[in-house]
Amino acid sequence: MKLKLKIWRQENTAAAGGFVAYEVDDVQPELTILEALDKLNDELVEQGDSPVAFDSDCREGICGSCGITVDGRPHGPEANTPSCHQRLKSFADGQQVTLEPFRSAAYPVVRDLAVDRSALDRVVESGGFVSIDAGTAPDADSHEVSHQAAEVALDMAACIGCGACVAACPNGSANLYVGAKLLHLSVLPTTKYERGRRARDMVETMEEEFGPCSLYGECVEVCPAGIPLTAIAGVNREKLRAVLRGRDRDD
Amino acid sequence: MRPEFEAEVLASLRSTAGPTLDGKAPTEVAPELAWADRKLHYKLVSPLNRRKFKIIVVGTGLAGGGAAAALGELGYEVHSFTFHDAPRRAHSVAAQGGINAARGRKVDNDSLARFVKDTVKGGDYRARESDVWRLAEESVRVIDHMEAIGAPFAREYGGQLATRSFGGVQVSRTYYTRGQTGQQLQVASSQALLRQVKAGTVHLHTRSEMLDLIVIDGRAQGIVTRDLVTGKIEAHTAHAVVLTTGGYGNVYFRSTLAKNSNVTAAFRAHRRGALFASPSFIQFHPTALPIGNEWQSKTILMSESLRNDGRIWVPVAPADPRPANDIPEDERDYYLERRYPAFGNLTPRDVASRAARDEIESGHGVGPLKNSVYLDFRDAIARLGKPVIVERYGNLFEMYEHATGENPLEVPMRIAPGAHFAMGGLWSDYDAMSNIPGLFVGGEAGWAYHGANRLGANSLLSACVDGWFTLPYSIPNYLAGLLGTPALERDDPRVHAFAEEARTGVQALVDIGGTQGPDRFHRRLGDILYSHCGVSRSGEGLAEGIRLIQELRREFYADLRVQGSSGSFNQELERAGRIADYLDMAELMCLDALDRDESCGAHFRVEHQLADGEAARDDAHWAFVSAWERDGSRYVRHDEPLAFESVRPETRNYR
């Protein structure tokens, strides 16, 4: 099959960007959209043109590196699927497809389709960790975690950090991302003493870096890890809990 | 006697004059006591002196992230480098199945000693025994630590940690978090790293690629990096450098690895004098997705844990055109269960990969290109029900369905061997230090634990043990001898010279000004390696492979085209530098495989097999590790003899 591509080109963060039209021919429907870009780049280099920059790494949907906007939708047409698993079979032969970077005030464009998502890490850095040094952990079998609780923690911990939730949100909110992290860590028995402080610090950083949540729910449609909308409730729950119990007290 | 052509190729590249290497494991005590003994003899750095020492850690995977965080927790000044935009994206994130630990909690007769026995035997007696004992011993608290810092391990209904079994063992010692164990460990580890960033002990440098190792006065004293966004090349100095930069399986182009995983940091250290051990030991994962078409960029990995419940088979009739579900039971050949009744579908990876290759080559392959075998869950679903299978492997099934359009709950998966884990790596002694003082190695970038074949779920373990529980002990021992010695100044002229050389090297690639982009060379290199240094190797094929690689390298330096400038975000330039190293690495891999005239683990030489097709190891001549030194365009082999005291070498038999 063939595709008409309209791709955002931007030299660097400071430069102005714009769309450029390309065509990619003779591609199989089972190829991913990133593999189609590989093929296009191969042809661009052959012609002496500059290839399209985009981030991708594991191409197995787990590292969270990839992330482009396809026809206005973060990652692409197939719901809950990362860019590296979006396949050309979603498009009709000869269809025009628009490729852009993730669009959000929190994500400056680095070049073409690659963006800077370090704001996501700054939220984790502010408190999304467990303060236990190497070698000081208790025997993991000395405390029980119910099967069900472990499963809930895993549902929330599945986030791959791609940041599509922010790009999909009309407000540029990171509530799904932060709520998932807070709920994941709140289940763990080893972190109970810093639960309140974590909620306070992470929410504060989140509010500085990202927009507010208005419960549109677009984030849930694009999340490759299937983080449920209930994660958003985690932000308010953990924040409120911290307030009610006092800033640093969790006992 | 080697045929003339092979001998000629060997002689043109290799000399074996290197002195015997000393692995420096304690010899006065039994291997199981070596780690306790060595820890007792390590020199210490007192808490107040720790902040005077600078340590560079390259890579933020489980080994690097762990080492940087642990050393930061202890109070050292750590500089952590990653070419990713965030530490969490390191390739450890992609490991699926689990992490082993020799906790022996069940009554299935597992123990520390059995873990060592399985690992040493699984590696076909080409690992360093004392290192494996350390791996086993520290595995116990790795689980405790990773659980404590945020990895929600699967739990039994009584609330205790759950385990499952993996290839090459008959006990259940693998701890897991669904099919995303690597992700959970990696996220927990990155969070611990970011905690130290916040505390100010770790300085994190993202989107920074290491281009060279600074060796001055015979010690590793820093690195040269390129900022991948601005293109700026600069030097960083420290008292010690740790390379935890992962494996080099991507040299095959289509592998199970992330696209950006590469050998450059390790190979640049090798160019500066670090020995490269066992480069030809590459694991082919038996449960990768088959290649479907020309532009497919990699081979997706399906966790080995699937073999717990999936049964592997091919049709009895060659080229059987029927869909899998139409083939009756008595016309299916469950060849692993037939050939290896004791281990069946859980035979180690090298055995399973070779068996699959045999079936495919004898015409029993399935799928449109006849290049795969079936992994079938029909019986497990009938026995346990769909919900149980979905809970165990749900995300893997979804990933498979995305890639192939087929639902494994309804039709069997198709799998094939794919290039995967590098057991070879920079040579290091028992203290995880390379032959260059001050250069330490951890995780897949190193060589010692897995021998010639890694057992499933030992890779996450080795990375965690190195990062959290080996390097934090061994590095201070080295630093203690440097107390009172400041790190080199960054504007020292000798440091400048290293940065300048790296700059010249990068510009030289841009200046070739040819017609072909770097990926084209990489694809061709991968094809050469798959056919000449793949699941099985022959002397003739390897010698021919070396000639082809040398030709391709000549073409690369004559006709490479790097679009764009060196002073900006330029992914073509990143690739070009890595492929320059892959070309030399591929030559070294083939040389090592040609030189090692025996079969062991993943290194299967067709000249050395038993009558039943199993690998014929040759302990009389090859019970050593080859560690290669680079001398211009030639290689010098150093040998470290391997002795096994606690696990007596025997023929590997999984029947």
Contacts across the A-B interface (CB distance below 8 Å): 222
Please say which residue of A61, A91, A111 terminates a domain.
A111
Say whether B569 and A114 touch across the interface (CB within 8 A). yes
Cα B197 from Cα B562, distance rounded (Å)? 36
Q: Do A101 and A125 belong together in one domain?
A: no
DSSP string, B517-542: -HHHHHHHHHHHHHHHSSSSB-HHHH
Q: What is the residue type of A191? A: T
What chain A residue is nearest to B513 in terms of C-alpha separation? A48
Say whether B184 and A154 touch across the interface (CB within 8 A). yes
Q: Do A224 and A127 belong together in one domain?
A: yes
The pLDDT assigned to B33 comes to: 97
Please say which residue of A60, A92, A111 terminates a domain.
A111
Of A38, A133, A139, the CB nearest to B73: A133
Say whether A59 and B297 touch across the interface (CB within 8 A). yes
Of B148, B295, B301, the CB nearest to A31: B295
Of B180, B295, B300, the CB nearest to A35: B295
Helix ranges, A70-225 (H): 118-125, 147-157, 164-168, 175-187, 195-209, 218-222
Contacts of A131 in chain B (CB under 8 A): 195
Planar angle of CA A181, A186, A191, nearest 5 degrees: 110
The dihedral over CA atoms of B81, B85, B88, B94, expressed in degrees to the nearest 10, equals -110
The pLDDT assigned to B301 comes to: 85
Nearest to B89 by CA among B72, B69, B64, B56: B64
B178: Cβ–Cβ under 8 A, 6 or more apart, which residues? A154, B154, B392, B394, B395
Domain housing A211: 118-245
CATH number, residue A88: 3.10.20.30
- The ipTM, to two decimals, is 0.98
Tokens found for residue A122: 């700054």
Contacts of A145 in chain B (CB under 8 A): 152, 155, 159
Q: Do A54 and A106 belong together in one domain?
A: yes
What chain A residue is nearest to B67 in terms of C-alpha separation? A134
Q: Do A195 and A236 belong together in one domain?
A: yes
Q: What is the residue type of B632? A: G
Q: Is the pLDDT of residue A50 over 70?
A: yes
**The tokens 């950083």 sit on which residue?**
A205
Contacts of B143 in chain A (CB under 8 A): 140
Q: What is the residue type of B334? A: Y
Contacts of A11 in chain B (CB under 8 A): 568
Contacts of A184 in chain B (CB under 8 A): 150, 152
> Residue B110, Cβ neighbours under 10 Å: how many?
23
Please check whether residue A251 lies inside any domain of the structure: no
Say whether A65 and B84 touch across the interface (CB within 8 A). yes
Tokens found for residue B272: 């500066």
Say if A20 is an interface residue toward chain B (CB within 8 Å).
no
Banded model confidence at residue A247, pLDDT cuts 50, 70, 90: low
The pLDDT assigned to A103 comes to: 98
Does residue A132 contact residue A190 with C-beta atoms inside 8 Å?
yes
Does residue B605 contact residue B592 with C-beta atoms inside 8 Å?
no
Cα B89 from Cα B187, distance rounded (Å)? 9
Say whether A111 and B569 touch across the interface (CB within 8 A). yes
Say whether A57 and B258 touch across the interface (CB within 8 A). yes
Q: What is the residue type of B600? A: C
Say if A17 is an interface residue toward chain B (CB within 8 Å).
no
Say whether B144 and A48 touch across the interface (CB within 8 A). no
Contacts of A59 in chain B (CB under 8 A): 258-259, 297-298, 300
Q: What is the residue type of B223? A: I
Q: Do A207 and A169 belong together in one domain?
A: yes
Can you list the residues of chain B whose pLDDT is less than 70? Answer: none
Say whether A154 and B177 touch across the interface (CB within 8 A). yes
Q: Do A14 and A42 belong together in one domain?
A: yes
Say whether B155 and A147 touch across the interface (CB within 8 A). yes
Q: What is the residue type of B264? A: T
Helix pair B129-148, B34-41: axis angle to 10 deg: 80
List, in sequence order, every residue forming a beta bridge with B284; answer none if it has no partner.
B419
For residue B563, how far is the Cα from the chain centroid? 31
What chain A residue is nearest to B105 in terms of C-alpha separation? A141
Q: What is the residue type of B622? A: W
What chain A residue is nearest to B154 in terms of C-alpha separation? A150
Say if A30 is an interface residue toward chain B (CB within 8 Å).
yes
Please check whether residue A15 lies inside any domain of the structure: yes
Of B87, B520, B569, the CB nearest to A110: B569
Of A28, A45, A120, the CB nearest to B293: A28
Does residue B227 contact residue B220 with C-beta atoms inside 8 Å?
no
Of B259, B296, B405, the CB nearest to A56: B259
Please check whether residue A250 lies inside any domain of the structure: no
Say whether B88 and A126 touch across the interface (CB within 8 A). no
Please check whether residue A66 lies inside any domain of the structure: yes
Contacts of A141 in chain B (CB under 8 A): 105, 160-161
Say whether A139 and B66 touch across the interface (CB within 8 A). no
Phi-psi domain of A66 (left: phi exceeds 0; alpha: psi -120 through 50; beta: other): beta
Q: Do A149 and A87 belong together in one domain?
A: no
Does residue B580 contact residue B509 with C-beta atoms inside 8 Å?
yes
Please say which residue of A86, A111, A136 terminates a domain.
A111
What's the burial of B333, exposed, middle or buried (CB within 10 Å: 0-12/13-18/19+)? middle
Distances (CA, A) of A222 to A63, A73, A82, A227, B555: 16, 8, 8, 10, 44
Say if A53 is an interface residue toward chain B (CB within 8 Å).
yes
Please check whether residue A176 lies inside any domain of the structure: yes
Say if A228 is an interface residue toward chain B (CB within 8 Å).
no
* H or E segment to which residue B225 belongs: strand B219-227
Say whether B563 and A184 touch across the interface (CB within 8 A). no
B633: phi then psi, degrees, rounded to nearest 5: -95, 10
What's the burial of B8, exposed, middle or buried (CB within 10 Å: 0-12/13-18/19+)? exposed
Q: What proportion of chain B, given as a percentage, has pLDDT over 70?
A: 100
Cα B5 from Cα B455, distance rounded (Å)? 35
Average pLDDT over chain B reads 95
Q: Is the pLDDT of residue A251 over 80?
A: no
Contacts of B255 in chain A (CB under 8 A): none
Of A35, A44, A63, the CB nearest to B296: A35
* Three-class DSSP category at B75: coil
Please check whether residue A55 lies inside any domain of the structure: yes
Per-residue pLDDT reduced to its tens digit, A115-138: 999 999 999 999 999 999 999 999
DSSP state of B255: B
Please check whether residue A198 lies inside any domain of the structure: yes
Nearest to B431 by CA among B414, B448, B454, B419: B448
Tokens found for residue B616: 């014929």
What chain B residue is nearest to A85 in terms of C-alpha separation? B402
The pLDDT assigned to B394 comes to: 83
* Three-class DSSP category at B111: coil
Q: Three-state SS across A7-52?
A: EEECCCCCCCCEEEEEEECCCCCCCEHHHHHHHHHHHHHHCCCCCC
Does residue A14 contact residue B569 with C-beta atoms inside 8 Å?
no
Sign of the alpha-carbon torsion through B554, B559, B561, B562: positive
**The tokens 């952990």 sit on which residue?**
A137
Of B89, B194, B197, the CB nearest to A63: B89
Of A38, A149, A158, the CB nearest to B297: A38
Q: Do A22 and A140 belong together in one domain?
A: no
Q: Do A147 and A236 belong together in one domain?
A: yes
* Three-class DSSP category at B473: helix
Nearest to A71 by CA among A61, A85, A83: A83
Q: Do A125 and A233 belong together in one domain?
A: yes
Please check whether residue A177 lies inside any domain of the structure: yes
Tokens found for residue B648: 């007596």
> Residue A95, Cβ neighbours under 10 Å: how many?
14
B277: Cβ–Cβ under 8 A, 6 or more apart, which residues? B424, B425, B426, B427, B447, B448, B625, B626, B627, B628, B640
The pLDDT assigned to B168 comes to: 81
CATH number, residue A213: 1.10.1060.10
Cα A128 from Cα A121, distance rounded (Å)? 9
Cα B594 from Cα B16, distance rounded (Å)? 13
**The tokens 């029947």 sit on which residue?**
B655
What chain A residue is nearest to B207 in terms of C-alpha separation? A116
Nearest to A132 by CA among B467, B145, B470: B145
* Three-class DSSP category at B554: helix
Could you tell me how many helices (H) and strands (E) chain B has, helices first? 19, 21
Neighbour order of strands in the sheet with B14-15:
B14-15, B634-641, B624-631, B276-277, B425-426
Banded model confidence at residue A249, pLDDT cuts 50, 70, 90: low
List, in sequence order, every residue forming a beta bridge with B209; answer none if it has no partner.
B226
CA distance A24 to chain B (A): 12
Q: Do A189 and A155 belong together in one domain?
A: yes
Q: Do A185 and A219 belong together in one domain?
A: yes
Does residue B433 contact residue B440 with C-beta atoms inside 8 Å?
yes
Cα B370 from Cα A35, distance rounded (Å)? 23
CA distance B186 to chain A (A): 10
The pLDDT assigned to A248 comes to: 63
Q: Three-state SS across B127-195?
A: CCHHHHHHHHHHHHHHHHHHHHCCCCCCECCCCCECEECCCCCCCCCEECCCCCHHHHHHHHHHHHHHH
Say if A184 is an interface residue toward chain B (CB within 8 Å).
yes
B187: Cβ–Cβ under 8 A, 6 or more apart, which residues? A157, A161, B88, B93, B150, B151
B35: Cα within 13 Å, side-chain hemisphere? 20
Helix pair B181-199, A147-157: axis angle to 10 deg: 70
Number of domains in chain A: 2
Per-residue pLDDT reduced to its tens digit, A141-177: 999 999 999 999 999 999 999 999 999 999 999 999 9
Say whether A50 and B144 touch across the interface (CB within 8 A). no
DSSP string, B258-316: -TT--SHHHHHHHHTT--EE-TT-EEEEEEEPPP-STT-----B--GGGGGT-EEEEES
